[in-house]
Amino acid sequence: MYTRWRLYILAVFLVVIGVLLVGCHIWRKRGHQFSALREVFLILGVVLIVETLIVSTLSNYNLGVILPAFFGVPLVFLALVLPHMDKGFLLFLKWLIAACYAVAIGIFLVCGFLMIRASSQGEKVEADAVIVLGAAVHGDKVTWVLENRLNTAMEYLEAHPNAICVVSGGQGAGESVTEGSAMKKYMVDRGMDADRIYTEEKAKNTMENFEYSKVIIDEVVGNDARIVFVTTNFHVYRAGQVAREQGVNAVGIPAEDVWYLRLNNFLRECVGICVYALRGDI
């Protein structure tokens, strides 16, 4: 099924790009000027807008869903208006847009480096306890994002039979059970020993995930327990910084992201890192 979806989405993008290329060719054949740079802006901008439209039908609505279109719309605008942006307000607007994209690219490079470095540090760590950070569940079923986190945690637990696991997450809107209970059920249904899995069912955010899970680990293992946490790869850096702020010395283990959400999640996480940095939380 997942391969079929990949092919469908790839086909949509190829059709969009093909239509735009043909349209630009016809436009030139009719004697209109349309530079290669404007063509690149147009294709990239429309692809980003289409990406938002596709993902909005497949995922819960959030900042990450709309960010590709947010970056795509100005590119389409530049593609259509660029020849006229040589004086007055339009000239100022052109350089303002260019400066904003330059800053954004710089932020993406720095944040991307931090995410990649953080997500490569935890897989070989020996730990006494594993914290699995919760994510949305649909009714009482774990989502694909959460399933990847749980599968990663189970692989670690199988390789470290003396470690316990804390699955952490409260009950959010549209969820008929707590994330923690849905996570434990998923793991037990796949053969994990229920006695090794402890549920934390109050947390509403990453900070509380660590705060409440640490209380459980201290009671079960002791306050000197070696801890790792599992979250989606893009989230490891920021989650690790939050853990430190909570006094939790833990190393992150990355779970695979859902393929069609990677761009959206990356962009949203860059915003999250910037917001946390400006607030002094990391």
Q: What is the pLDDT of residues 75-133, one digit of tens each?
A: 999 999 998 898 889 999 999 999 999 999 999 999 999 999 988 776 678 899 999 99
- Both tokens assigned to 282: 């990391």
- Both tokens assigned to 47: 């692809």
Q: Closest Cα partner for 131 from 179, 190, 64?
A: 179
Predicted pLDDT at 122: 66
Predicted pLDDT at 158: 94
Q: Which residues of the chain have pLDDT under 70?
A: 1-5, 122-123, 281
Predicted pLDDT at 5: 65
Helix (H, G, I), strand (E, B) or coil at 250: strand
For the chain, the distance separating the N- and C-terminal CA atoms, rounded to the nearest angstrom, is 39
Predicted pLDDT at 2: 54
Cα distances (Å, whole numbers) of residue 274 to 24, 143, 249: 38, 27, 23
Cα torsion 15, 21, 24, 26 to 10°: value is -80
Predicted pLDDT at 123: 64
Rg (CA), the chain: 23
Domain made up of 129-279: CATH architecture: 3-Layer(aba) Sandwich (3.40)
Contacts of 216 (CB under 8 A, 6+ apart): 166, 198, 200
User: Residue 139: which region, alpha, beta or left (left: phi > 0; alpha: psi -120 to 50)?
Assistant: left
- Both tokens assigned to 97: 């847009």
pTM: 0.84
- Both tokens assigned to 244: 């430190």
Cβ 54 vs Cβ 9: under 8 Å: yes
Helix (H) or strand (E) holding 158: helix 144-159
Predicted pLDDT at 27: 80
**Domains of the chain by residue range:** 2-84, 129-279
